[in-house]
Amino acid sequence: MRRLLCVSFTSLFIFIFSASQGNACDLCAIYSATRATGLDGRGISVGFAEQFTHYGTLKENGQTVANPFGQYLDSSITQIFSSYDFNNHLGIQLTLPVIVRSFQRIHDGIVETGTSSGLGDLSLIGRFLPYQKYTEHFSFNAHILGGIKFPTGSTSRLGEELDEGAEDPSAPKSGIHGHDLALGSGSFDGTVGANIYTRWRRFLTSADLQYSIRSTGSIDYRFANDLHWQVSLGGYLWLRHAATLALQARLSGEHKGLDTLGGVQAEDTGITSVAMGPELQFTWGRHLSANLGADIPIVIDNSALQAVPDYRIRSAGTWRF
C-alpha cells in the first residue's frame, strides 16, 4: 500500500508539473483560496475538524507483540471552532473538542469493552502574521501561534492510574490505560507554534510546528510535553476563480515524553512516531474550505506496552463570513 501511495503521488506531481502554468485569472483564484483557508483577510469563521484514529497494534518498547485478546482503541475527536480575525495580521480561535473513544482491553485481568465520550478541554489560541507576500507567481506567509488549554474535560478515567501498581503481575497486560481514555487533563496547559505556507505558480508547500507545555492536573498527574510537526508538498490540480482543488503529500510526526504521577514516571506513556499520507484541499470562492486526508505510520518507537495507531483519517471544513 505504501508503494502504491508513492506511485500515485509521483504520477500526480508529474501531472501538476506538466499542466499549464495558468494566466492572470489564476491569481484571483489563489487569492480566493487563501482567503477561504483563513490565511488572509478578516472576519468571523466557524467550522469543524474531525480526526479518527484506529489503535489496533500492540508494541512494547518499539517492537510489535502479540495481541491475543484483540485489544483496540477507536478514537474520534471532533473539534468545533469559531475564530475572529481582527485584521490580516491578528486573530483568535476558540475550540471545543467532542470525544468518543470505543475500546476493548484487559482490565483487572479480564477483557473489557466500553466507550468513553464527552467534551474535551477547551482551548483559546491567538494567531499573529508577521510577514506575508502575494504576487501572481509567488505567495508566502508565516504565522506564530500561542494560547492556553482549559481543564474542561472529564478526568475520571485518570483515577485508574492510581491502581496500576496493584495489578496482579501474572495477569495479561493491558495496552490501553486510564490516561488513554481520559477526556481531559485537569490542567491549564500552554501551546506555542508556527506555520509557514509557500506557493510558486501551482506548487504548494507548508510546514507546521506545535509544542504543548503541560502542567500538573488531577490526582497529581502531569501529561508530558508534546511536540507535533508536519511538512506538506503538492500543488493545484484544479484552479478556477470559483473553486480550487489541491493535492499534497503530508509527512507528520509526534514526540512525547513520559507522563508523571506524583512525580514518578509512568513508563507506558512515551512515544515518537512519523506518518505519511495524502491530503486533498478544496475551496469554494472566498467562503468555504475543506480538506480530507489520511496518515499511515511508518515509524513508531514507544515506551513499555501500548496500543499504537494503525491509521488516521482527517477531515475539516471552514466557512468564512
- All structural domains of the chain: 2-320 (2.40.160.40)
Residue 24 has what pLDDT?
A: 39
Annotate 1-28 with DSSP letters as a single string.
Answer: -HHHHHHHHHHHHHHHHHS----HHHHH
In the predicted model, residues of the chain with pLDDT beneath 50 are 1-25, 27, 31
Residue 36 has what pLDDT?
A: 54
The span from the CA of 151 to the CA of 188, in Å, is 6
Is the entire prediction scored with pTM above 0.85? yes
Residue 136 has what pLDDT?
A: 79
Name 224's Cβ contacts closer than 8 Å, sequence gap at least 6. 214, 256, 257, 258, 259, 260, 269, 270
Write out the three cell numbers for 248. 499534497
The dihedral through the CA atoms of 110, 263, 303, 115 has a sign that is: positive
Residue 226 has what pLDDT?
A: 96
Q: What is each CA distance from 55 to 10, 103, 110, 296, 310, in whole angstroms?
A: 29, 9, 19, 12, 6
Residue 167 has what pLDDT?
A: 66
Residue 280 has what pLDDT?
A: 96
The span from the CA of 246 to the CA of 315, in Å, is 14
